[in-house]
């Protein structure tokens, strides 16, 4: 990270005027985020799960929710709600991405309620519904180029159920409306001049 910060000093001195975006998986330490305070204009973290037990099962991380929510709080403290200029270009703020998983494995309601109640009801949220479960063995045996036999073709993480469409009648959509959070498909409430 030190090299990036050094390069930004040079780039800014040479005329860089674009908003700086930090695209992250959301599992950031508070120490690392402190180094970025005053440097980053737009934080774009993932909030993958609303439950640490699920995060441990599928991503092998025990303290995901605790680390992730602390990081998102710090990001919002630094940059606030997302501000978009009249031309549609984001200038500064927090934009959270959340992948909706089948059978609510991502605990979407919990994530949206956290954002609305503990961050800001104006939090800009990109709810993504493009999850598609891969079926059948996808790994190939290196020596032969053939698929492994079914007994050895275990998924890397626990098998997830069928895809879940994000439609107006889904629990996720109802929670989005109930918590008054924003989807990236809609404009935020506040705009920059």
Q: Supply φ then ψ for residue 183, to 5 degrees.
A: -95, 150
Say if CB 85 and CB 77 are below 8 A apart. Answer: no
Is the CB of residue 45 less than 8 Å from the CB of residue 72?
yes
Q: pTM of the predicted model, to two decimals?
A: 0.72
State phi, psi for 160 to the nearest 5 degrees.
-95, 150
The average pLDDT across 7-20 equals 91
Residue 146 forms part of a structural domain: no
pLDDT at 159: 42
The pLDDT score that the predictor gives to residue 165 is 42
By the 8 A CB rule, do 100 and 106 touch?
yes
Question: Does residue 179 lie in a domain region?
Answer: yes
Tally of structural domains, the chain: 1
**Band of the pLDDT at 48, cuts 50, 70, 90?**
very high
In a domain, 93, yes or no: yes
Q: In whole numbers, what is the pLDDT of the chain averaged over residues?
A: 78
Residues of the domain holding 95: 17-132+151-183
56 has pLDDT over 50:
yes
Mean pLDDT of the 128-138 span: 63
Q: At 73, list the tokens.
A: 């709080």
Residue 50: inside a domain, yes or no? yes
pLDDT for 193 beyond 70: no
CATH number (domain holding residue 40): 3.20.20.70
- Here the tokens at position 33 are 């985020």
């Amino acid at each position: 990270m030190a090299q990036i910060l050094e390069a930004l000093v040079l780039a800014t001195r040479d005329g860089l005027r674009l908003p700086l975006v930090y695209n992250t998986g959301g599992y950031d330490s508070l120490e690392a985020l402190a180094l970025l305070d005053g440097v980053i204009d737009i934080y774009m973290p993932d909030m993958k799960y609303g439950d640490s037990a699920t995060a441990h099962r599928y991503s092998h991380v025990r303290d995901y929710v605790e680390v992730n929510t602390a990081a998102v709080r710090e990001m919002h403290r630094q940059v606030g709600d997302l501000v978009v200029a009249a031309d549609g270009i984001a200038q500064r703020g927090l934009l959270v991405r959340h992948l909706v998983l089948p059978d609510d494995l991502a605990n979407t309601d919990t994530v949206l309620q956290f954002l609305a109640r503990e961050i800001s009801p104006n939090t800009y949220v990109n709810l993504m519904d493009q999850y598609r479960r891969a079926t059948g063995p996808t790994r190939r045996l290196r020596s032969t180029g053939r698929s492994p036999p079914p007994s050895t073709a275990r998924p890397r993480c626990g098998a997830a159920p069928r895809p879940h469409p994000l439609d107006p009648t889904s629990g996720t959509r109802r929670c989005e409306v109930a918590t008054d959070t924003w989807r990236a498909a809609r404009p935020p409430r506040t705009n920059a001049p």
